[in-house]
């Protein structure tokens, strides 16, 4: 009795509203502790209090397929079928994000295609964070706009197969739905305008830089060619005085060198030539001594070789003599 749909409930998509959840998951929800303790005799008025206590969203998890409180409340709403105004208030609630997520999910299950686009698309502007428990029981982070996008685009969310809805462009062509207006259009226009302003400023700066560069080049061409350092009259006068003094000093040295007596120069040349001859004689004597030592070494090597050869011949002859004498002695005996 506690798991039956209310008598005055309307069929959704041509079937019992509870049948939108698969049978195996529905039976797991009926056997769960949360369903028996928290969802028993729950009415539409008390549903708000239970929704405010939610701390995460999700379907089933674990190896034995345990349902989350979020999925249990979805099945309870399908069972008691609250009025549409209550669901709309759930969606418009900005204080409790999980209450909004619960109302959006229920609207996606039982609402028409027009109602889904009408009430869920404004939630794209909500970027608050939601905790979602995946199939392995691990919590992950999602945003409200991501969750809404999954409801409108995916076929299965929170382990529940979602009913099919018409595409948006079909409703727009039939004039049942206004064209979609994104909240990012205004920001995009502002970005485009700011980028155009930046480009204009950059062009103006480049133009100003080119003009200043042209002016500098013109001034450089008009300026006469000067030395690296422009001399003042006083510095130029000092420079000329120093130059003349150095020139006079060099001139005097040259003339003094030319005025030296020729005899001294001749004597000096003669002594230099004598020293050169002495050096040459010494080097010649040194070379001759080396040649003599080399020849002497060769002669001693030859004589030594001859003596060694003579000694070797003498030993051979003595050996032969002893051998012959030994043979004759043996023959006589």
Residue 199 has pLDDT above 80, yes or no: no
Contact yes or no for 28/36 (Cβ under 8 A): no
**Measured between alpha carbons, how far is 170 from 184 in angstroms, rounded to an integer?**
23
pTM of the full predicted structure? 0.57
**Measured between alpha carbons, how far is 138 from 304 in angstroms, rounded to an integer?**
107
Backbone angles phi, psi at 51, to 5 degrees: -65, -35
**Measured between alpha carbons, how far is 71 from 101 in angstroms, rounded to an integer?**
12
Contact yes or no for 71/60 (Cβ under 8 A): yes
Torsional sign, CA 42, 47, 49, 55: positive
pLDDT in tens, 157-171: 999 999 999 998 888
Confidence of residue 211 (pLDDT cuts 50, 70, 90): low
Backbone angles phi, psi at 83, to 5 degrees: -70, 160
Task: Provide, rounded to the nearest whole percent, the portion of the chain with pLDDT above 90.
Answer: 38
Give Cα separations from 150 to 39, 105, 127, 141 (angstroms): 27, 10, 14, 14
- The residue ranking higher by pLDDT, 102 or 244, is 102
User: By C-alpha distance, which of 75, 85, 71, 51 is closest to 3?
Assistant: 75
pLDDT of residue 226: 47
Which range has the worst mean pLDDT, 109-113, 122-126, 274-278, 304-308?
Answer: 304-308
Burial class (CB in 10 A: 0-12, 13-18, 19+), 38: middle
Average pLDDT for the chain: 79
pLDDT in tens, 303-320: 555 556 677 777 778 777
**Measured between alpha carbons, how far is 160 from 75 in angstroms, rounded to an integer?**
11
pLDDT of residue 45: 87
The residues that bridge with 140 in the sheet, in sequence order, are: 132
pLDDT of residue 227: 46
Q: What angle do CA 239, 245, 247 make, to 5 degrees?
A: 100
Residue 54 has pLDDT above 90, yes or no: yes
Residue 265 has pLDDT above 50, yes or no: yes
Residue 225 has pLDDT above 50, yes or no: no
The residues that bridge with 141 in the sheet, in sequence order, are: 131
pLDDT of residue 291: 72
**Measured between alpha carbons, how far is 252 from 15 in angstroms, rounded to an integer?**
131
- Continuous H helices in 32-96: 33-38, 44-52, 69-80, 84-92
Contact yes or no for 57/70 (Cβ under 8 A): yes
Tokens of 128: 């608050």
pLDDT in tens, 56-78: 999 999 888 899 999 999 999 99
Going by their DSSP bridges, the two strands 139-143 and 129-133 should be labelled as antiparallel
Contact yes or no for 86/44 (Cβ under 8 A): yes
Residue 257 has pLDDT above 60, yes or no: no
Give Cα separations from 136 to 123, 162, 232, 290 (angstroms): 28, 22, 91, 104
**Measured between alpha carbons, how far is 231 from 26 in angstroms, rounded to an integer?**
104
E strand or H helix that includes residue 216:
helix 184-222
Burial class (CB in 10 A: 0-12, 13-18, 19+), 88: middle
């Amino acid at each position: 009795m506690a798991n039956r749909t209310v008598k005055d409930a309307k069929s959704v998509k041509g079937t019992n509203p509870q049948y939108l959840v698969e049978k195996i998951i529905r039976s797991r929800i009926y056997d769960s502790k949360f369903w028996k303790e928290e969802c028993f005799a729950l009415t539409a008025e008390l549903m708000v209090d239970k929704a405010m206590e939610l701390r995460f969203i999700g379907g089933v998890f674990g190896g034995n397929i345990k349902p989350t409180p979020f999925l249990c409340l979805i099945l309870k709403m399908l069972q008691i079928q609250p009025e549409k105004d209550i669901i709309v208030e759930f969606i418009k609630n900005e204080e409790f994000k999980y209450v909004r997520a619960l109302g959006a999910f229920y609207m996606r299950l039982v609402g028409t295609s027009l109602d889904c686009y009408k009430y869920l698309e404004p939630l794209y502007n909500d970027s608050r964070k939601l905790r979602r428990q995946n199939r392995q029981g691990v919590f992950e982070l999602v945003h409200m706009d991501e969750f809404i996008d999954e409801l409108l685009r995916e076929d299965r969310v929170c382990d529940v197969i979602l009913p099919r809805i018409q595409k948006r462009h079909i409703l727009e062509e039939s004039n049942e739905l206004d064209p979609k207006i994104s909240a990012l259009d205004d920001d995009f226009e502002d970005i485009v305008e700011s980028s155009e302003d930046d480009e204009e400023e950059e062009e103006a700066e480049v133009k100003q830089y080119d003009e200043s560069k042209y002016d500098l080049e013109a001034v450089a061409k008009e300026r006469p060619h000067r030395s690296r350092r422009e001399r003042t009259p006083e510095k130029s006068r000092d420079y000329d005085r120093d130059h003349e003094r150095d020139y006079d000093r060099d001139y005097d040295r040259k003339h003094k060198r030319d005025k030296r007596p020729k005899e001294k120069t001749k004597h000096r040349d003669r002594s230099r030539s004598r020293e050169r001859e002495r050096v040459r004689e010494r080097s010649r004597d040194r070379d001759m001594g080396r040649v003599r030592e080399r020849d002497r070494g060769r002669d001693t090597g030859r004589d030594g070789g001859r003596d060694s050869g003579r000694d070797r011949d003498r030993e051979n002859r003595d050996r032969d003599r002893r051998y012959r004498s030994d043979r004759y002695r043996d023959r006589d005996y």
